[in-house]
Amino acid sequence: MSYAEVYAGWKADPEGFWMEAAEAIDWDRKPSKALNEENAPLYEWFADGMVNTCWNAVDRHVAAGNGDRLAIIYDSPITGTQEKITYADLQTRVASLAGALAAKGVGKGDRVIIYMPMVPQALEAMLACSRLGAIHSVVFGGFAAHELAVRIDDCKPKAIIAASCGIEPGRVIAYQPLYDGAIELAEHKPEFVVVFQREQAVAELTEGRDVDWYAAQDGVEPADCVPVEGNHPAYVLYTSGTTGSPKGVVRPTGGHLVALNWTMKNIYNVDPGDVFWAASDVGWVVGHSYICYGPLIHGNTTIVFEGKPVGTPDAGTFWRVISEHNVRSFFTAPTAFRAIKREDPKGEFRAKYDLGCLRALYLAGERADPDTIVWAQDLLGIPVYDHWWQTETGWTIAGNPAGIEAMPVKIGSPTVAMPGYDVQILDEGGNQVPNGELGAIAVKLPLPPGTLPTLWNAEDRFRKSYLSTFPGYYETGDAGMIDEDGYLYIMARTDDVINVAGHRLSTGGMEEVLASHPDVAECAVIGVADELKGQLPMGFLCLTKGVNRPHADIVNECVKLMRDQIGPVAAFKLALVVDRLPKTRSGKILRGIMVKISDGQEFKMPATIDDPAILDEIREALATLGYPKS
């Protein structure tokens, strides 16, 4: 069947399409129907089925006689170690850890925060939670204690599972001060912390609260899989919104299993047993869907890579991993390729490895710029597929359905809508615009299985953030267009979210941090274009009257404040002191114009601007940092 036929088949009978896809999942009780629309515009999928995620990701492969197949390959150039874990090993390890959690009172519906770097134990912790029907929330290691505390207070975990440290090039990041600090800051106190000790920085255990990963498992009964309802939350993953309080995206169990399993063949074109590698981090949605759950549910081998595209030890690391482990489909963010290209523009490292195993490269997480795509295509000689999705959806909204039919690649487009998504471009009034015209990208409700049914403890915010601008649609927050062949183009965010090295960050959240500096009266944060990371945050600071300390000191304090409050991942290093910010007459800061000036782009002077002369002051200030870059 062609893509067009599959898509049309879904559109004609979505219920039948998803019930058929659900056949590939082991249910403890089969769902009687796919979609539940009783509470529209809130929808649920497979709500009356009973199912367990861990059974589908681990145990069923062992039961089917594939226990000897590799489930996880841990490849850590940063520590110089490797480990291979079969499905049978994984089952033993996960059942034992789940037993330890159960013995300490963790059960169905309890929340557990996981704060771990790229080690296989992070996946084991996720799977142990899902084995018990507990709801995990993984927090990325690059976030500071304050961000962890915000998440603790929002999801109120019974336990935290942490590693003693993460390792970045040139430095070991002890996690103990981070989770200790977060627990101290948070109002909610988790009952216990399970600590996976790593030799690079051993954590001191707090008596009565902390328990060692292995000691906790001593003498406990391995736990069985607990069936849960199809609409039971599998996990909560926080992502940046327009304010400093992150949104807890809820992932429903049944739809998650069905949709991810469907994507592995139809989008990533792998068969069970093939090695699939997503070079991301378990702290992001790509890590949830395509380092942990997707490949394991589908019976693939997944790679847990602890390293960077460059510097661990060189720009050939990716090619080594691909050839050494026989990777068939590879997924990463464009920024990783830009980093490699910068270090090894001629691709000399690539020539050292046989990459015959690799069938295609998949890029997502940020806009894939044409230069990077062309460079990657030339270097690898295989198709490079851009695909577009979000934490909220958990899987591809628009991509190249290579397992159904490899569509011709149009550089600059992530290709076409996947079955399940009726993607439309709307004008401000919510009317569809003609092909080729720009507008807000929206998806006609219901969203497909696996996508967010709501936000954790924040249904109103869910409705306001996603459902209210265009009634009957999900608002993606991206703007773009569809061409005459149905190809989608993603142009920009419509909100204050920026994308730094494939990481989604909130400029509003950063402004809240800057505003907390005692000398800052007013501020704005924008995303400026960056050759490597796509965007970088830049802060504009207006000082409180009477402050006459050196500006450089205040800027440095703001940079440190951001690192302490949000974390190194914010990559906030650029800030400027200015007298005034450009505003409309009604007082709205003209951030869009500031972005245009920083990036050296043309713009139309808004009729509503209060005082155009401020733009010259902004230009002068930017010039001191070398912006716009030529």
Contact 33, 14 (CB under 8 A): no
Looking at the Cβ atoms of 45 and 196, the one nearer to ligand COA is: 196
Q: Which is nearer to ligand COA, 99 or 334 (CB)?
A: 334
Residues in region 503-522 near ligand AMP by CB under 6 A? 504
* 49 vs 294, beta carbon nearer ligand AMP: 294
Q: What DSSP state is assigned to residue 567?
A: -
Q: Which of 35, 116, 360, 490 binds ligand AMP (CB under 6 A)?
A: 490
Phi then psi for residue 388, to 5 deg, are -120, 125
CB of 521 to ligand COA, least distance (A): 27
Task: Give yes or no for a cis peptide into 157 (omega within 30° of 0).
Answer: no
Range in contact with ligand AMP (rule: CB under 6 A) among 16-24, 148-156, 360-368, 612-620: 360-368
Among positions 141, 248, 419, 539, the unique one binding ligand COA when judged by CB under 6 A = 141
Name the residue nearer to ligand COA (CB basis): 146 or 158. Answer: 146
Q: ω into residue 383 within 30 of 0, thus cis?
A: no
* CA dist., res. 72 & res. 74, Å (int): 6
Least Cβ distance, residue 92 to ligand COA (angstroms): 28
Provide the 10 A C-beta neighbour count for residue 443: 22
Q: Indicate the residue among 300 and 451 with the shorter CB distance to ligand AMP.
A: 451
Q: Which partner in ligand AMP, ligand COA, none is near 490 (CB below 5 to 8 A by kind)?
A: ligand AMP
* Helix, strand, or coil (residue 431): coil
316 interface partner picked from ligand AMP, ligand COA, none, CB below 5 to 8 A per type: none
- Strands 423-426 vs 439-444: parallel, antiparallel or unpaired: antiparallel
Shortest Å, Cβ 285 to ligand COA: 8
**Which of 477, 509, 527, 582 contacts ligand AMP by CB under 6 A?**
477
Pick the binder of ligand COA from 53, 121, 239, 280 (CB under 6 A). 280
Q: Does 364 bind ligand AMP (CB under 6 A)?
A: yes
* 533 touches ligand AMP (CB under 6 A): no
Would you say 442 and 426 are in contact if contact means Cβ atoms under 8 Å apart? yes
At its nearest, how many Å lie between ligand AMP and the CB of residue 368?
6
Least spacing, CB of residue 94 vs ligand COA, in Å: 23
* Chain residues 294-353 in contact with ligand COA, contact rule CB under 6 A: 308-310, 333, 335-336, 339
408 burial class (0-12, 13-18, 19+ CB within 10 angstroms)? exposed
Count Cβ neighbours within 10 Å for each residue of 136-173 and write b for 16 or more, e otherwise. bbbbbbbbbbbbbbbbbebbbbbbbbbbbbbbeeeeeb
| Residue (of 388, 401, 395) closest to 450 by Cα position | 395
3-state secondary structure 196-265: ECECCECCCCCCCCEEEHHHHHCCCCCCCCCCEECCCEEEEEEECCCCCCCEEEEEEHHHHHHHHHHHHH
Q: Is 268 an interacting residue with respect to ligand COA (CB under 6 A)?
A: no
The Cα 399–Cα 219 span in angstroms is 48
578 in helix, strand or coil?
coil
SS3 state of residue 457 = coil
- Could you identify the residue written with the tokens 């773009």? 480
Judged by CB under 6 A, the chain residues 535 through 594 that form the site for ligand COA are 568-569, 571
289 and 319 in contact (C-beta within 8 Å)?
Answer: no
State which residue, 285 or 339, has the beta carbon closest to ligand AMP.
Answer: 285
391 lies in the site for ligand AMP, by CB under 6 A: yes
HSE, CB side, 13 Å, CA atoms: give it for residue 272: 18
Please choose which of ligand AMP, ligand COA, none residue 569 contacts, taking the beta carbon within 5 to 8 angstroms, the exact cut-off set by kind. ligand COA
Binding status of residue 145 toward ligand COA by CB under 6 A: no
Write out the H or E segment, with its range, that includes residue 330.
Answer: strand 327-332
| Residue of 61, 367, 517, 533 that binds ligand AMP (CB under 6 A) | 367
- Work out whether 328 is an interface residue with ligand AMP (CB under 6 A): no
C-beta closer to ligand AMP: residue 132 or 368: 368
Q: How far is the CB of 211 from ligand AMP (least distance, A)?
A: 33
Supply the angle between the helices 370-380 and 334-343 in degrees, to the nearest 10: 70
Q: Is 286 in the site for ligand COA (CB under 6 A)?
A: yes
The residue ranges that bind ligand COA (CB under 6 A) are 117, 141-142, 166, 168, 173, 280-281, 284, 286, 308-310, 333, 335-336, 339, 365, 500-502, 533, 568-569, 571
The residue ranges that bind ligand AMP (CB under 6 A) are 239, 285, 364-368, 386-388, 390-391, 414, 477-478, 490, 493, 499, 504
